[in-house]
Amino acid sequence: MEFNIAECKTMHIGNGNIEYDYSMKGCQLDVVITEKNLRVIISSNLKVAEQCYEAYHKANRMLGLLKRTVKYRNPDILVRL
Q: Residue 49 domain-assigned? A: yes
Q: What is the pLDDT of residue 81?
A: 46
Q: Residue 80 domain-assigned? A: no
DSSP string covering 15-81 = SS------EETTEEPEE-SEEEETTEEEETT--SHHHHHHHHHHHHHHHHHHHHH-----TT-----
For residue 25, the one-letter residue type is K
Structural domain tally of the chain? 1
pLDDT along the chain (81 residues), means of 10: 91 88 94 92 91 95 89 64 46
Residue 42 pairs in a beta bridge with: 35
Q: Residue 81 domain-assigned? A: no
The three-class DSSP label of residue 10 is strand
Q: What is the span of the domain harbouring residue 57? A: 5-69
